[in-house]
Amino acid sequence: MAMGTLYYNWFKPRSIAIRVLAKLLDLDLDFIHINGSEDAGAAYLALNPLGKIPTYVDQDGFVLTECTAVLTYIATQYQHKKSLLGANQQEYFKVQQWLSFANSELLVSMGGALYPIMKDFKTEIVCDADDCARMLLRELQVLDDHLAGRTYLVGESLTIADLLMNSFIGCGIQVFHQSWWDDYPNIARWFLPIYNLPENKAVAGELAKFEKEIPPALQGKKAQRALETAQVDELDSVMLRDEQPSAVLVSP
């Protein structure tokens, strides 16, 4: 008998880290693919009234929704196999902090910034794309600053916070690869070794590289600097043009 059932969706990032966790812990889970809330049947809605993904059902029938709760629950249940919750109580809560940051800040901004670019994604847009872009860049900077000199988000070993954050950053890097590698060197250095873990690769596959038209606000720091230089040049030439008549006026 399987140790539990994960209702997931191949393409939705909130399911990826749980599947990677199951591999790292060598768990025998059943996996049931759910398309989305719109066509979730009555049986699934009884487990998760919003019809959202993921949902986990333990072997004794205990039902849990919300990806961060599911990750924490499974990691706690099987902590004896591998510790992925931090080395002490403070690290445990730092893990919770980064799970929440990833799920309720970074992924939300990234979704709002990404969906208009990936026009083939059908989804509900819940916030303005420009606001999301601004927030996303601030959050990425916070993450990059935090990861300076660190291998993992919390403490000295891999935790579920790394798994969740890595799956979300992976979604973004596939689209913003032109700028993120350069703009966020600490994220890049942290990202690859975790992405390349065999357990992660088995779930997430090779990192795709989409060539999409990126709006100026998200083109990265180099593009931003080029834009600012162009604006300063333009301003200088306007000022020079404006100065000429007065120079003529005061000349004898």
Ligand X SMILES: N[C@@H](CCC(=O)N[C@@H](CS)C(=O)NCC(=O)O)C(=O)O
- Contact set with ligand X (CB under 6 A): 12-14, 36-38, 52-53, 66-67, 103
Whether the CB-CB separation of 218 and 178 falls below 8 Å is answered with no
Give the dihedral sign, CA 160/165/166/167: positive
Residue found under tokens 């049947």: 41
Residue 194 Cβ, how far from ligand X at the closest point, in Å?
19
Nearer to ligand X, 159 or 220 (CB): 159
Nearer to ligand X, 86 or 111 (CB): 111
Residue 121 Cβ, how far from ligand X at the closest point, in Å?
11
Residue 153 Cβ, how far from ligand X at the closest point, in Å?
18
Residue 44 Cβ, how far from ligand X at the closest point, in Å?
11
Nearer to ligand X, 105 or 223 (CB): 105
Q: How far apart are CA 34 and CA 127, in angstroms?
A: 25
- Enumerate long-range contacts of 154-157, CB under 8 Å, 24 or more apart: 154/86, 154/91, 154/94, 154/95, 154/98, 155/86, 155/87, 155/91, 155/94, 156/87, 157/83, 157/87
Nearer to ligand X, 72 or 103 (CB): 103
Nearer to ligand X, 45 or 226 (CB): 45
Residue 73 Cβ, how far from ligand X at the closest point, in Å?
12
Beta bridge partners of 31: 6
Query: Can you read off the two tokens belonging to residue 197?
Result: 């873990």
Residues in CB range of 117: below 8 A, 6 or more apart: 175, 212, 213, 214, 215, 218
